[in-house]
A and B are shown apart, each in its own frame.
Chain A
Amino acid sequence: MELWMHQIERWFQQAEQWIRQQPAEQLYLTIAVVFIASILLILLRSFNPSKSNIIVLAGLSGSGKTILFYQLRDGSSHQGTVTSMEPNDDIFVLHSEVDKKAKTKPVHVVDVPGHSRLRPKLDVFLPQAAGLVFVVDALDFLPNCRVAAEYLYDILTKASIVKKKIPVLILCNKTDKVTAHSKEFIRKQLEKEIDKLRTSRTAISTADVTNEYTLGVPGEPFSFSHCQNQVTVAEASGLTGEVSQAEHFIREHVKP
């Protein structure tokens, strides 16, 4: 032990002498560089964590995602929308909360196009998602029920959703119209379709290339309560601006 202490002391003395020998400017320069580098590192780390705080709007083409996006952001649907070719990505304070006195944190919402050729774009945003809103057209529901259920099934069986237990809100849009279906009806239909999909997709042997996990409890009819992540159903109307349930979901899951 003594020998070690001695050695260390001698090293310290040698280092001191060496430092004394260097000219002063160089010393200051090195200290400055080290200081700046460490500050940059701290800044970068605080700005760039891989924390997930994106709310993703997904759904079939024509279900009303882009209108919903602009309602959340600006409170109006402006002059209408057409089929999106690219995602709409913005960080903003929810329009209904702009007038609040307390400082509300802006949310990062991404509207992913629903066209089937642009599905891969969803995978870009999922790793950082904190919540997913699956928008369903309540007016034109039955003809598209199967396709919507397939899309929802694909989303619910993706690895990132299952592992991180990302909450999903099934939003029935266009409820301002008289012939729109109720959210209970939509929920039951989707559960039935996903049940059928479960049997037809898991009947395949070990590796179906697209689906990574299986849903629900085998042997029982599928219900959204079987999912490990939280799946809820709500109603909204993009055109009239009735989006309070969606905003509630967003507020719940984005850390304030």
Chain B
Amino acid sequence: MLEQLLIFTRGGLILWTCKELGNALRGSPIDTLIRSCLLEERSADGVFNYDAPGAAAYTLKWTFHNELGLVFVAIYQRILHLLYVDELLYAMRQEFSHIYDPKRTAYDEFDEIFRQLHMEAEARAEEMRKLKQAGKAAPLLGKKQLQGPSQRGVQQGGRKQKSGSNIGSATDEDGADSEKHRGLVNNSSNGHQNGTKESIARKGKENGPPESGAFDVNKLQKLRAKGSKKNASAVISKTSKEEPKKNVKMNRVWGDSPPSESKLDFTNPGDESGEGVVEVVSADQGDSMMDKEEIVSSESEDEEDDKLEGAKSSVKKGWFSSMFQSISGNSVLEKSDLQPALKALKDRLMTKNVAEEIAEKLCESVAASLEGKKLGSFTRISSTVQAAMEEALLRILTPKRSIDILRDVHAAKEQGKPYVIVFVGVNGVGKSTNLAKVAYWLLQHEISVMLAACDTFRSGAVEQLRTHARRLQIPIFEKGYEKDPAIVAKEAIQEASRNKSDVVLVDTAGRMQDNEPLMRALSKLINLNNPDLVLFVGEALVGNDAVDQLSKFNQKLADLSAVPTARLIDGILLTKFDTIDDKVGAALSMVYISGAPVMFVGCGQSYTDLKKLNVKSIVKTLLK
């Protein structure tokens, strides 16, 4: 059942693995878990799904022992729904903390203890299941017929509430081991406080005890088969309904005049040649701010204010005892102790324009990493929480990959191909403006740039880029309006390799993340041309929508790509940074949800207003 169980320290040494379950794991699930989940501050989820190359799908569950710095991980096949895993992990944690010794590195006696715990956990799960079955068997007989049609309706209703992934898992579990489901079908909720996705999926299938009461297991199987097919078709019909609506877009008619059929392209063919009428001096406005150092002031004064604020916001829980405990330093941190400090921190983050969901997840992750830790002497809970949050923020905002674009450009230059950067984003965030700024910066480092006008929808987009190209004196590739952007980009790249440009900057039209045909077009552009860098342009003024934008963009790019390794968003360009004073939370939301680093920050509307993100100053501002 279980594939593997591990206990390891936070420093990386494996202390114990279960020797009975010695199955070789395919891929490297533990390392992936650490890199993409625990280090990304998503440790509060509790569950991680891993798809190994070679069609093996695992689910990983974990728990921490923060005081000793240990991590307990259980791995099992995703198609199984083992509900005793959480309990087993907690029991293991308890037992192991008794025998743990920092000096020892081999814990063979734990094998015996583990075998006992495993049997106990399995036995308890069996009992639970039997109880549920016995409880359900009596009242179900009378209600069979009536339950039929209403169940289908309730099933669909229940399922619509769940996320899309559950629907996916329901359909693929249908084919597999139905006998197991008959056995484990009633095993979901009751005593176990799991809250995992598996149990929710199970509830959806069997319709959850509170919703429909008891029912026959055989009936359930038939209904499940019918219901899932119906639901899948319902989902498909929903999306197909949206599509025909969007495809047919009638021109708006204002007043009584008949709609004019003439094209709305007013570009003057005369202006396309050479310099045009106006004599334009090449723009040279000094050094881009990318190359200037930022001076970060010392933090000593701010700490005092933080401490006072923290003292006021934390709940007074018996002043005398808490004072004593903080001095003696023996109290173990409980979740209830952390709650008030975390809530205050979460509110503070939200006033700095961090998306609500992100702030919540971050606080949970910090709580997970602090629970069970001993409070150091002479420290208050609020300062411990603050320190942990600061470290977490620093970790999230530190880029995972190199943001040295110049190095990548040089590498591409050696290979003889142009380096292609595509700017994507929703409407009005500043793609074209910041594209020009990036071009200016690259020009200052003696790199030849070419612009590609793939925004063929918005009136004036091509002229805008043409003006920038004229001012910067760089070539621009454009094909006018109402052409397929993917083809324009492809031809632009070919042109760039012909005239030996180092970098091609591709401007695309702004689009909402919910707009299916436009996202499909974007995905086509990216797949066809395989750019070196996909830069998502987001404005710093955005609030909770940042989470939605980025996650939907990434999802659409992943879903609609033809190859298994889809190109996702590689970097973020944060714009309009000068309009927010200290409400810098959008940077955090965007980085957290996408995992991509912030490569540039646009802080004004002239060519030199492009900076690098200073991680320490952002963290300081967020926690001020």
Find out whether the CB atom of A115 lies under 8 angstroms from the CB atom of B14.
no
Is B12 an interface position by the 8 A CB rule?
A: yes
A9 to chain B, nearest CB (A): 49
CB–CB B410/A84 < 8 A: no
Q: Which of A34-42, A73-81, A233-241 contacts B (4 or more CB under 8 A)?
A: A73-81
User: B10 to chain A: closest CB distance in Å?
Assistant: 4
Q: Is the CB of A85 within 8 A of B11?
A: yes
Residue from the list A111, A117, A199, A208 in contact with B39, Cβ < 8 A: A117
Asked whether, in the complex, the Cβ of A150 is within 8 Å of the Cβ of B34, the reply is no
Chain A residue at minimum C-beta to C-beta distance from B15: A79
Residue from B31, B411, B612 whose CB has the most chain A CB atoms within 10 Å:
B31
Please state if B13 and A209 are interface contacts (CB–CB under 8 Å): no
The reply to whether B293 and A120 contact each other, CB–CB distance below 8 Å, is no
B16 contacts across to A, CB distance below 8 A: 79
Q: Is the CB of A82 within 8 A of B34?
A: yes
Known A118-B39, A205-B287, A207-B293; judge A82-B12 contact (CB<8 A): yes
In the assembled complex, the CB of A62 is this many whole angstroms from the nearest CB of chain B, namely 8
Bound-complex Cα distance A36 to B30 (A): 54
Q: Least Cβ distance of B87 to chain A in Å?
A: 24
Q: Could you say which interface size class chain A belongs to?
A: 35 or more
Contact between B406 and A82, CB atoms less than 8 A apart? no
Q: Which residues of B contact A80 (CB under 8 A)?
A: 14
Residues of B within 8 A of A61 (CB): 35
Question: Is B445 in contact with A83, judged by CB distance below 8 angstroms?
Answer: no
Are A83 and B106 in contact, with the CB atoms below 8 A?
no
Query: Among the listed A78, A86, A116, which residue makes an inter-chain contact with B400, where contact means beta carbons less than 8 Å apart?
Result: A116
B30: which of A79, A82, A84 is its contact (CB, 8 Å)?
A82
Contact B10–A86 (Cβ < 8 Å): yes
Tell me, in angstroms, the Cα distance from A204 to B407 when the chains sit together. 11
Q: Are B394 and A120 interface neighbours, CB within 8 A?
A: yes
B133 within 8 A of A: no
- Tell me the A135-165 residues at the B interface (CB within 8 Å): 146-147, 150
Q: Is B398 an interface residue (CB 8 A)?
A: yes
Check if B14 sits within 8 Å of A204, measured CB to CB: no
A21 at the interface (CB under 8 A from B): no
A87 to B9, CA, bound (A): 11
Q: How far is the CA of A85 from the CA of B66 in the complex (A)?
A: 13
Residue of A78, A83, A119, A197 touching B34 (CB-CB under 8 A):
A83
Q: CB-CB < 8 A to B105: which residues of A?
A: 70, 74, 78-79
Q: How many Å from the CB of A84 to the closest CB on chain B?
A: 3
> Do the beta carbons of A86 and B69 come within 8 Å of each other?
yes
Q: How far is the CB of B407 from chain A (nearest CB, A)?
A: 5
Contact among A78, A116, A150, A201 with B13 in the assembled complex (CB-CB below 8 Å) = A78
**In this assembly, does B238 line the interface, its C-beta being within 8 Å of a C-beta of chain A?**
no
Once the chains are docked, how many angstroms separate the CA of A86 from the CA of B406?
31
Q: Is the CB of B402 within 8 A of A118?
A: no
Q: Which residues of B contact A115 (CB under 8 A)?
A: 35, 39
Q: List 19 A-B contacts (CB under 8 A).
A: A62-B31, A70-B13, A74-B105, A78-B13, A78-B105, A82-B14, A82-B31, A84-B10, A85-B12, A87-B11, A116-B398, A117-B396, A120-B398, A146-B407, A150-B404, A200-B406, A204-B445, A207-B292, A207-B293
8 shortest interchain CB distances as A-B pairs: A84-B12, A88-B11, A207-B293, A66-B12, A86-B10, A83-B34, A81-B12, A79-B14
Name 9 extra pairs, CB < 8 A, besides A87-B11, A118-B398: A78-B105, A79-B16, A81-B12, A82-B8, A84-B11, A85-B34, A113-B12, A207-B292, A209-B612
Residues of B whose CB lies within 8 Å of any CB of A are: 6, 8, 10-17, 30-31, 34-35, 38-40, 69, 105-106, 287, 291-294, 394-396, 398-402, 404, 406-407, 410-411, 444-446, 612, 614
Q: Which residues of A contact B (CB under 8 A)?
A: 61-62, 66, 70, 74, 78-88, 111, 113, 115-120, 146-147, 150, 196-197, 199-201, 203-209
